[in-house]
Amino acid sequence: MPTGLGKTVIAAMLIEKFYNEKKKSLMMAPTKPLVLQHAKTIAESTGISENEIGVFTGEIDAEERDVIWVTRRVFVSTPQVVFNDMRSGILDITKFDLLIFDEAHRAVGNYAYVDIAQEYLKYKKKLIIGLTASPGGDREKIDEIITNLGIAKVIAKTEYDEDVRKYVKTIDVKLVRIPEPESTREILSVIDSIMTKLLEPLKDNGFRVGRSRKDLVAAMQKVIDSAKEDRSLFQLVRRLTAAIRLDYLREYIETQGLDVAMHYLDEMKRSEDSSIRRAMSILSGLEEFGDLERKMTSYAAEYINPKMQRVVTILSAHLHGNARAIVFTHYRITSDILMEYLHRNAPDLKPVRFIGQADRGADQGLSQDQQRKIIDDFKNNVYNVLIATSIAEEGLDIPDTDFVIFYEAVPSEIRYIQRKGRTGRSRNGQVYILVFENSRDMAYYYSSIRKVSRMSQVIEDMKQDSEENKKQEKQDAQTRLFDF
């Protein structure tokens, strides 16, 4: 069901029903802010007090959780805590009568949702509910989710359904094309030359290598397999590692800006990671790489990031009164640099960073309490701009966000839908997607649009399959009655 239409409230209604029947319920969500938010929503929309809800995000130690698991009937947790407690033996998942998997599209591969559901499914007459606004555009992946969670019935609602349409707000999406600076084109040309030189020895050894990161990773696996018989080929692995790092540098330039790319280059030069050090050793041995560093340093001295300029322009034009905005950035370093830029160039704005809990070198993450306070302060207009990484993409309930800015395009249909869904909840919203022209940005944008279209078609096909199954069941029932 589309974002903002009450999937959490549906979960709360079910939990309350089971609670009144003296049954146990567990709702899981992938991030700590989301867990805290769901616990609050359940308490506010049901007769269950917060003191009766066990909330686990890794902050409470195992001994205390052991007691709470057996003394309460309603729980909200990250799947990692649930999985770890199952594995250690302090949690018997089969004691629950209801499991709710929020952001159910994550139930693929090795994600903890899969193991939890599979253990639970060994015991019948139990209920599993999966909730998602973005199941993905691949029918095989959706079928995998259905299998992993033991789903027997799929209910798919879109914004075009008659019973949904009147509740859906309009979201106006604008693609903001930003001309690629001349300096960027020169730098990318040098990177292309370095990439050609890096990959020449691979071609000389009979390996066909494309320029995309996916191609580079695939080529690395082939080289590693071949190097098991000819160890001299391991030198090619190092070249491919350097090529992948160079491609990341190119992506920073094409999607974030030269100033952010300079930070990435500095991080690589200072890194203690052995793989990165080997890659830098190979790159530094190339004369063209020295030319690249000199060009980047020279242009960066007078560089003004056109994307950050555009962010200020959009925010300044639309943030009036109690209006609020979210700016999504893929990289944490971008959020940091953008924060500084806003302080210098838009002092009337009230921005705040919203990032995950993990530390990234000198950049410390936010604690659970800090994250919760930022969300509350944003809702209460202490801040009016939330500069957020992916931590805020899934399910964050900020109903009155007036517009969202994608600092860069994202190639994933799931991330596109999740970012877009942070606005247009209680009133109409706007989305601005910033892209550098003739760059990877544009490719990512068109990729996400194609995937969203494919996902819509897959959901429509699933709905039709469901209707046909209902008709067949009705016909079968009539046939049985006739036979009787």
pLDDT in tens, 357-391: 777 777 788 887 888 899 889 988 999 999 999 88
CA distances from 272 to 267, 275, 349, 363 (A): 10, 9, 38, 17
- DSSP-derived 3-state class of residue 176: strand
Please, is 307 exposed, middle or buried when counting C-beta atoms within 10 Å of its C-beta (0-12, 13-18, 19+)?
Answer: buried
- Residue of higher predicted confidence among 366 and 408: 408
CA distances from 394 to 328, 332, 383, 390, 421 (A): 12, 17, 20, 8, 9
User: From CA 202, how far away is CA 199, in angstroms rounded?
Assistant: 5
- In this prediction, residue 161 has a pLDDT band, given cuts at 50, 70 and 90, of confident
Rounded to 10 deg, the angle between the 258-270 and 332-345 helix axes is 130
Cα within 13 Å of Cα(105), Cβ side: 19
**C-alpha angle 416-418-422 in degrees, rounded to nearest 5:** 115
Whether the pTM exceeds 0.95: the reply is no
DSSP secondary structure code for residue 424 in this structure: S
Quick: pLDDT tens for 73-86.
999 999 999 999 99
Q: Name the residue with tokens 């979201």.
A: 171
Rg (CA), the chain: 25
pLDDT of the residue at 15:
97
pLDDT of the residue at 59:
84
- In this prediction, residue 461 has a pLDDT band, given cuts at 50, 70 and 90, of confident
* CB environment 37-47: b (16+ within 10 A), e (fewer): bbbbbbbebbe
DSSP secondary structure code for residue 244 in this structure: H
Q: Are strands 351-354 and 385-388 parallel, antiparallel or unpaired?
A: parallel
pLDDT of the residue at 247:
95
- In this prediction, residue 483 has a pLDDT band, given cuts at 50, 70 and 90, of low
Q: Name the residue with tokens 């359904």.
A: 161
CB of 255 closer than 8 Å to CB of 438: no
Q: Is the pLDDT of residue 168 over 90?
A: no
Residue of 171, 176, 134 whose CA lies nearest to 403: 171
What sign does the dihedral 185-188-194-198 (CA atoms) show? negative
238 C-beta neighbours (distance < 10 Å), count = 16
Strand partners, 128: 99
pLDDT of the residue at 401:
85
User: From CA 121, how far away is CA 125, in angstroms rounded?
Assistant: 9
Two tokens at 79? 């799947």
- Residue of higher predicted confidence among 372 and 199: 199
Residue of 92, 82, 107 whose CA lies nearest to 28: 82
Least confident stretch, 132-146, 206-220, 337-351, 382-396:
382-396
User: From CA 65, how far away is CA 81, in angstroms rounded?
Assistant: 10
User: From CA 462, how far away is CA 484, in angstroms rounded?
Assistant: 33
Q: Is the pLDDT of residue 394 over 80?
A: no
Mean pLDDT of 424-451: 91
The per-type count for the chain, helices as H runs and strands as E runs, is 18, 11
- DSSP-derived 3-state class of residue 2: coil
- DSSP-derived 3-state class of residue 12: helix
Enclosing H/E stretch for 333: helix 332-345
- In this prediction, residue 427 has a pLDDT band, given cuts at 50, 70 and 90, of confident
pLDDT of the residue at 397:
65
